[in-house]
Amino acid sequence: MNVLVTGAAGFIGFFLSKKLLERGDTVVGVDNLNDYYDVALKKGRLEILNRLDGFSFELLDISDREGVEKLFAATRFDVVVNLAAQAGVRYSIDNPHAYVDSNLTGFANLLEGCRHSKPAHFVYASSSSVYGQNRKMPFSVTDTVDHPVSLYAATKKSNELMAHAYAHLYSIPVTGLRFFTVYGPWGRPDMAYFKFTKAILAGEPIDVYNHGNMRRDFTYIDDIIKGVVKVMGIPPERTADKENNETTAPYRLYNIGNNEPVELGHYIEVLEKHLGKKAVKNMLPMQPGDVPATYADIDSLTRDTGFKPETTIDEGLGHFVRWYRKFYA
């Protein structure tokens, strides 16, 4: 296939592009290489992708309407995967316009591109953040998600609504994926495990929010990529709802997570084991926009694709620490 991957220099975008290229697909990667975190890390990912056959890169911000229009006019894509977004819950509190530009305006530009070019499937990244302070566990895609607690979460919920409207109006097959705390080598330096590793090795204290009373459905990057690739191959179809005399849009939502939440304290213990060094913990209250727990119900994804996460926290953090020591040697 010929696949457009936005956010190709990002964490998930890099691994997805690499996987698609290795299986023989052609990938056009788009990224704006912003400085939200270390640009050298993004360029390091791109160096690897540029060595693989079938990859081409476009330096482009998806909020650039004219640039996105030219991209879709120049190339017809079989599948479009949108992984470009301004990430981070806490960053959204001080930098709201970055989220409006990328996550709302940029997303609308991609939907318009798909509207006119008609790819076989548009897959996009949503987030477990849309569940806000839902108390029912595990989180299900059938749950109501009308109470986001951060602007980041609100933009991701908005993406889901926008995508559904385009699927309904223009019969674009669309699948949204609610990612749950993805981690692994080449990950984002703003994520807790990355910050913890850097601080522990430097003998500095780590900030542990909500006094460590957090649970996260940590999901290893290889498992995430297996799930995304499976989803790409099964575009949804428009189906008739005869009972209500309605036609439903070719649209689906899935959770994609480990389906096994882990206490933050245990996560830190495993990281300490692989680093061979104890952390000095600075216990702090809950941060604004954060949630105490995440837990993915992945039954529908498993039923439709056979997706099943396989990587344990011990294995995943071991892989990450080995990569970290090598990359930052």
The answer to whether 30 and 10 have CB atoms below 8 angstroms apart is no
| Contacts with 318 (C-beta within 8 Å, 6 or more apart), sequence order | 274
Which residues make Cβ contacts (< 8 Å) with residue 303, sequence separation at least 6?
A: none
β-strands 182-183, 251-256: how paired? unpaired
Q: Tell me if 28 sits within 8 A of 11, measured CB to CB.
A: no
User: What Å distances lie between residue 73 and 61, 67, 112, 113, 313, CA to CA?
Assistant: 16, 10, 12, 8, 44
Beta bridge partners of 2: 26
AA identity, residue 283? M
CA distance 248 to 305: 21
Active site residue 251: no
HSE of 86 in the Cβ direction (CA atoms, 13 Å)? 29
Catalytic-role residue among 36, 91, 99, 152: 152
For residues 131 and 140, give the distance between their C-alpha atoms in angstroms, rounded to a whole number.
9
Q: How far is CA 22 from the centre of its chain?
A: 21
Contact status, residue 244 vs residue 212, Cβ threshold 8 Å: no
The DSSP bridge partners found for residue 29 are: 5, 57
Strand order in the sheet with 251-256: 55-59, 26-31, 2-6, 79-82, 121-127, 174-179, 251-256
State the angle between helix axes of 11-22 and 39-50 in degrees (0 to 180), rounded to the nearest 10: 0
Could you list the active site residues? 152
